[in-house]
Amino acid sequence: MKSDPKECLYCTNNETLHNLMIEIAHLSVSRVFLFKEQTYHGRCLVAYDGHVNDLFELTDEERNAFMADVVRVTRAMDKVFHPEKINYGAYSDKLSHLHFHLAPKYVDGPDYGGTFQMNPGKVYLTEKEYEQMIEAIKKEL
């Protein structure tokens, strides 16, 4: 199911988006967000700038630039949060705008060895804690 850019969470940059995540930075072809729900400490999302439905729709150059942005973010996440592993999720069944969920996983943390939950709704931080995480990530981008 392809979504309409006029109704797309990422394209409209609407209140729903800002209730779920905080924009960290704009990279070469994407935007980086920090999830407000932090069950997976340091969880971020990278959304492609243009409204495309899937990775295969990009040219080789566009794909390479997008994946370079994704890698840039995961390298920053690794330096800041030191997870055991970062899980990548590209689920867009209901919202077909190219984006990657980046969920850090820790050995003794939630769902280690399994699939991360989309929105567990368990861990929220203070504004100051979000600001500190964002500044740390920005420093490493």
- Tell me the average confidence (pLDDT) per consecutive run of 10 residues in the chain, 141 residues long: 82 94 98 98 97 95 98 98 97 85 97 93 97 98 97
- Its pTM stands at 0.94
In angstroms, rounded to a whole number, what is the distance separating the alpha carbons of residues 123 and 71?
A: 26
Give pLDDT, residue 1. Answer: 60
Residues 6+ apart with CB under 8 A from 19: 36
Give pLDDT, residue 115. Answer: 92
Classify 5-140 by CATH class. alpha beta
Helices (runs of H) and strands (runs of E) counted in the chain:
4, 5
- Domain range summary for the chain, segments of one domain joined by +: 5-140
Q: What is the 3-state secondary structure (H, E, C) of 92-110?
A: CCCCCCCEEEEEEECCCCC
